[in-house]
Amino acid sequence: MTPRSDNIASAGWMTLGMAGYVTNDAFIKLAAEDLPLFQSIFLRGVWVCTILVAFNLHRGTLSGLTQHFSKPIAVRLLCETLGTILYLSALTRLPLAGLTAVLQLVPVAVVFVAARLLREPVSLQRVAAVITGFAGVLLVVKPGADSFSSWYLLGFATVVLIIIRELATRQINNSAPTQVVALMTGISITAMGLALSLVEGWGALQTRPVLLLVGAGIFLTIGYVASVATVRIGDLSYSAPFRYSIVVFSIILQIVFFRDVPDVWTFVGSGIVVLAGLWAFRADAEAPLPYEHVD
């Protein structure tokens, strides 16, 4: 059984990672007002890779970069890259709220996959906390009742890729430093951004979007490092509910950056998300589900 201290640490890393990712999203959204999307992703990636190269040089891990490459890392990079392409493709054709609701299936799926495939002890309290958090998220995103679009299939495919990515990350050898895995991820996404930007086209560089992309790069680096650390430290089922913290952070950024105050249901749903996270934090992991040891 994973020590409780490791699970607590993984929950902290997960929360930090969600804050990093959503802040990056806010900066990218602002920068994309002046630059094409994939050009923004490439330029952001240049900053991400620069930061991670400097960090790896400081830690003395850059010289052994290639020796840490493995099949699990290759699977992780492939899923990360494909997931990014599918998500952005769907996002340009679907309402953000509906697509966000689909992606919140990730914590639910992670818990049950962790129980079935990784044999992690999953208590009924954890399952209830994840489902409660999902209900809170639905209140926030308020998915519309529009007719189903086939583009939602890309959202479901992204969820599957995220699950595979997390499972692959768990299989990465402990000798591979987290910052090395994060750098490989950054290189993969940056290369993808460059390739697609050549197809999409480039816009003229201006000071404002460049500064925004620098900020996005810093926060995305935090997200990369934290997301790898949380998966490698604790149980996937323990940290999964803390993914919902991204909803709370997004509301704060929506108010601060876009001057858009959410409605009352958004605040109610966010409160439920926070309570679900605290519930999961206190959940007893020693009461596994009946099917946990079923082959």
Q: Which domain holds residue 223?
A: 4-120+150-232
25 within a domain of the structure (yes/no): yes
Extract the runs of DSSP E, i.e. beta strands, from the chain: none
Residue 114 lies in a domain: yes
Structure tokens at 192: 């993808």
Q: Are 233 and 6 in contact (CB under 8 A)?
A: yes
What is the predicted pLDDT for the residue at 281? 66
Is residue 42 in some structural domain? yes
Q: Is residue 134 part of a domain?
A: no
Whole-model pTM: value is 0.76
Name, in order, each residue with C-beta under 8 angstroms of 213's C-beta and a sequence gap of 6 or more. Answer: 27, 28, 31, 40, 43, 44, 47
Nearest partner of 227 among 66, 12, 51, 72, judged by Cα: 12
Instruction: Read off the tokens for 291.
Output: 């099917």
Q: What is the pLDDT of residue 252?
A: 85
The CA-atom distances, in angstroms, between 183 and each of 108, 124, 213 are 28, 37, 17
What pLDDT sits at residue 286?
43
The pLDDT score that the predictor gives to residue 288 is 45
Instruction: Tell me if 281 is assigned to some domain.
Output: no
* Successive 10-residue mean pLDDT values, the chain, 295 residues: 84 92 86 89 92 90 84 94 84 68 74 71 76 81 64 86 88 87 92 94 93 93 88 81 82 83 81 78 49 36
Among 254, 275, 244, 267, residue whose Cα is nearest residue 14: 244
Q: In the prediction, which pLDDT does 222 show?
A: 92
Total count of domains within the chain: 1
The pLDDT of residue 78 is: 95
Q: Residue 127 domain-assigned?
A: no
Q: How many residues does the chain have?
A: 295
User: Does any domain span residue 87?
Assistant: yes
